[in-house]
Amino acid sequence: MKQEILNRFLKYVQIDTQSDEHSKTYPSTKKQFDLANLLVKELEEIGIQDAAVDKNGYVTATLPSNIEKEIPVIGFLAHMDTAPDMSGTKVRPQIFENYNGEDIVINKDLNVHLLIKEFPELKEYKGQTLITASGNTLLGADDKAGIAEIMIALEYLTTNPEIKHGTIKVAFTPDEEIGKGVDHFNVKKFGADYAYTLDGGPIGELEYENFNAAGIAIQIQGRNIHPGYAKGRMINAILVASELNDMLPIEQRPELTEHYEGFFHIIKFFGTVETSEIHYIIRDHDIEKFEYRKTLIKNAVEFINKKYDREIAKYKLEDQYYNMREKVEPVFHIVEQAKQAMIELGITPDIKPIRGGTDGARLSYMGLPCPNLFTGGHNYHGKHEFISLESMEKAVHVILKIIEKSVKS
C-alpha cells in the first residue's frame, strides 16, 4: 500500500494548485481544475461511477453501500489548493528512505536544512521514509496528502468488495487556504450525515475544536498640516493608529499565546499623516471571550474618537467562522469513533484544539458535523515542510477503520 500512496502523492504535489486570495473568481485559480479533472478520471478508473467536478471546482463521488441495513452516510473531504504563502510551481519532491535521524539537507545551495535542534520531532521518524520539496517551493502535503489517503482508501474498498461498508461520500474542494473552500458547497446535495476532513498534521491528531474568528479593518482620518505650523492643528494618522494598537493587551499577541489562549493579530498597517489603515484578526476558542475581544477593540476606536472629539476612526468588523465544538458535541460519537479507530491501530490520539480554522468548521455550521484527522505532515506552507510515508499509510488505515466501526456500531 505504501508504494501506491507514494505514487499518488508524488503525482498530485507536482500539479500547481495554488489559490489566490486577491482573485474575484471561484475557484480563485483555474489551475485547480487540473487536479480536479485528474481526480475525476482516477475515481472513474477505480469504479466510482458518479464522480464529477462542477463549475465551482468541487469534486464529488459516492461509493454505494454494500450492506442491507441502513447506517449513517460518512463523508471524507480534503482540499486541492495550496497556500499562497509560498510557490507551488514546479514542486520537485525528494524522498529520504530509511531516514537516519540526523539533520536533513533539503537544498545546500539555498541553505535550506531540517535541523534537529530546530525540529526535534524529526527524531521520531528515524527509519521511516520522509518526503520534502527541494527548497524553493512548499511540498503541498497540505492537503494533497489528505487527497492521496482518501483515494487509496477508496481504491482499497473497490478492489476488496468483500469488505462491508455503508455509503461513503467524498469531496475534494478548492480555495480552503484562502478561507473560501466551502462558499458554494451544497451540504444537502452531498448527502452525508457526518464527515471528516483529512487536513491535520502529525500522526494522531484529532481535532473538533477551532477558533472563533473575526477580522476588523480600521480607517483613521488625520489632518495633515505643514510641520512648521502644525502645533495644535495636525492629527498624525500614523501616530493615532499606533496609539490605538498600544491600547490592546501586549501579552495577547499570537507570538505570546498557545493552546486555548486567544489573540489580537495585526496583519496590515499602512498610511500617511493624512490617512492610515490598520487590520487585525481576532481569535478565541471561548465564545464569550471572543465577544469580549471584539468589544475591547471597538471600545478602543470609540475612545480615540472621544479623545479627538471627532470621528476620526471608523471600523468594519466581520465574523469569519466559529468554533465547531458547539456543533460536534451533540454527535460526539463521531469523535469517539475516530479516537477508538486510532487506538485499535496502535496510534495514540492527540486531541487538541486547532489554533486556526478548517473547512470542517464551516461545514459543521452548515449542517455537516466534521472533525479533522491527521494526514502526517509537518511545517505546512513553507520550504521546511515534510511528511512521513508511514504516517500517511496509518491515515489510510484510520479511514478504513472508521468505516469498519460504523458498520458494527
Using CB atoms within 10 Å of the CB of residue 170, give its burial: 0 to 12 exposed, 13 to 18 middle, 19+ buried. buried
Catalytic-labelled residue, pool 149, 155, 176, 199: 176
Backbone angles phi, psi at 406, to 5 degrees: -65, -30
Using CB atoms within 10 Å of the CB of residue 214, give its burial: 0 to 12 exposed, 13 to 18 middle, 19+ buried. buried
DSSP code of 223? B
Which grid coordinates are listed for 242?
Answer: 499606533
Give the separation between CA 364 and CA 369, rounded to whole angstroms. Answer: 4
DSSP code of 92? -
Catalytic-labelled residue, pool 16, 81, 177, 359: 81
Give the separation between CA 109 and CA 34, rounded to whole angstroms. Answer: 31
Cα 378 off chain centre by: 13
Q: Is 183 part of the annotated catalytic residue set?
A: no
Q: Is 359 part of the annotated catalytic residue set?
A: no
Q: Which helix (H) or strand (E) holds 62?
A: strand 59-63
How many Cα atoms sit within 13 Å of 43 on the Cβ side?
23
Which grid coordinates are listed for 1?
Answer: 500500500
Q: Which candidate, 192, 165, 194, places its Cα nearest to that of 67?
A: 165
Q: Which residues form the catalytic set?
A: 81, 176
